[in-house]
Amino acid sequence: MEEYQDERCENCIIRQLNSLKALSKEELKKISDSKVTKTIKKGDAIFTEGERLNGVFCVRNGVSKLSKMSDNGKDTIVKIAAKGEVLGQRSVITDEKTNLSAVALNNMDLCYIPKKHLTDSLNINPLFTKAILVHMASDLKFADNIIVNMAQKNVRQRVAEVLTYLYDNFGVDSEDYITLTLTREDIANVVGTAKEACIRTLTSFRKEGWISTKGKRIKLNDKAALQKLIDGI
């Protein structure tokens, strides 16, 4: 993990994408004096489950996966965090150890902001407090949706949903392959199934002409068919 000083927080466009937009210019100046910009290489951990975080990580560039280890040792990916996301916001409100791990899916640029400066703002800035709580509520809703999907949708529907989510949120490259490339194991961990079941499902999608693959890369040939599957039509 490399560290370096970079653009000041009050001039950063990224903050408009997250709860930091609720901070005043003076608060942002104080944060900027203490924050450190870090470069995380693909595959490296930003933080690990059980770690006590003393600040938050603002994603400037790149994508990470947030996952939780189950009692049987299986990793479940609960969120894909991209540019503009703030990781570890629970640490601002509670001293509990983090219940998730964060790993870079590609090379990332992050801003690390120490907890102390954010806690000070929580005590004097109600708009910032509300923004933090809204973000946490959104994460809880997202987690609830995952639980519902696991209970109500089959593996084919869940794999289709992951593919359309990646397509809608990360776009495609010049060859129309989804820009963000996940391993088959990562897709399985998002879906909540075995890697083998994920591979069989992707193979069936390819045979039906709904997708094309080239190595780990995936192209959606018939997004409408995948959506019908998701909707149970």
pLDDT for 150: 63
Q: Identify the burial level of 206 via C-beta atoms within 10 angstroms of its C-beta, where 0-12 means exposed, 13-18 middle and 19 or more buried.
A: middle
Q: What is the set of domains in the chain, with CATH numbers?
A: 2-148 (2.60.120.10), 153-231 (1.10.10.10)
* pLDDT given at position 13: 44
Q: Find tokens 């996966």 and name the residue.
A: 65
Q: 3-state SS of the chain?
A: CEEECCCCHHHCCHHHHCHHHHCCHHHHHHHHHHCEEEEECCCCEEECCCCCCCEEEEEEECCEEEEEECCCCCEEEEEEECCCCEECCHHHHCCCCCCCEEEECCCEEEEEEEHHHHHHHHHHCHHHHHHHHHHHHHHHHHHHHHHHHHHHCCHHHHHHHHHHHHHHHHCECCCCEECCCCCHHHHHHHHCCCHHHHHHHHHHHHHCCCEEEECCEEEECCHHHHHHHHHCC
Integer Cα distance of 9 and 26 in angstroms:
10
| pLDDT score, position 1 | 53
Residue 18: name the closest of 70, 71, 92 by CA. Answer: 92
Per-residue pLDDT in tens (0 to 9) along the chain, 233 residues:
554 445 555 455 445 546 777 777 788 788 778 788 899 999 999 999 999 988 889 898 999 999 988 777 778 888 888 888 889 888 888 888 888 999 999 999 998 988 887 888 888 888 888 888 887 777 777 766 666 666 678 999 999 999 999 999 899 999 999 999 999 999 999 888 899 999 999 999 999 999 999 999 999 999 999 999 999 88
Q: Quick check: pTM over 0.75? A: yes
Task: Please report the pLDDT score of residue 155 as a whole number.
Answer: 93
